[in-house]
Amino acid sequence: AQKVTQAQTEISVVEKEDVTLDCVYETRDTTYYLFWYKQPPSGELVFLIRRNSFDEQNEISGRYSWNFQKSTSSFNFTITASQVVDSAVYFCALSGYSGSARQLTFGSGTQLTVLP
Amino acid sequence: DTAVSQTPKYLVTQMGNDKSIKCEQNLGHDTMYWYKQDSKKFLKIMFSYNNKELIINETVPNRFSPKSPDKAHLNLHINSLELGDSAVYFCASSQVRGAEAFFGQGTRLTVV
């Protein structure tokens, strides 16, 4: 069985602060994929990043960075110098490699509020 | 050009009715999905489908059924709607299972 845990239900920060969203996952697969999605107040789900289980290199995209650590089964997401437009629900997700595991299992989401 | 589009965006209906939500993707993807997002924002897979295989989440009532006339469409039919079916339903597609999924804008279903 696959499971994704986002222990932070809600986070509030003041604009320009850095914020890290935690994600811990469980899977029996040795090959798997991890994702982050953003859901702004408008409601759509926006794909941010996909990592496979063999690539533990951290990734940076502008103000966004992701830290993947297999040893702790974590895939954390950091926003640097947060902005009001970053306010959204952020979902971490996991997909396995075979059978019914090959579909996205989502965490419960973290509501991020960035205050001006 | 919208990559994954669903209609309608809002749907209000009475208990016991049958309704459908349509989904189309123009990404050329082989796999399509339906997800349900409840009032607490929790996203749960309902169906995963490509032209070879339908995977149904075992917790989905059989009142829900996906229908795919072709690779670019996966519609959701719901029979005998119940109050608990009220939620936002998202259609999505991906190149293959396990790849990143791209989502439609969602359909907010309200059963009264």
For residue range B50-109, what is the model confidence (pLDDT) as tens digits? 866 787 787 899 999 998 888 899 999 999 999 999 999 999 998 876 788 999 999 999
Searching chain B, which residue's CA lies closest to the CA of residue A32? B98
Q: What is the pLDDT of residues A44-93, one digit of tens each?
A: 999 999 998 988 888 889 999 999 999 999 999 999 999 999 999 999 99
Q: Which of B41, B102, B105 to mutate to test the interface with A (most CBs of A within 10 A)?
A: B41
Measured between CA atoms, how close is B96 to chain A, in angstroms? Answer: 9
Contact A34, A26 (CB under 8 A): no
* Three-state secondary structure call for residue A37: strand
Searching chain A, which residue's CA lies closest to the CA of residue B106? A44
Measured between CA atoms, how close is B1 to chain A, in angstroms? Answer: 16
Q: In what order do the strands lie in the sheet with B75-78?
A: B4-7, B19-25, B75-78, B64-67
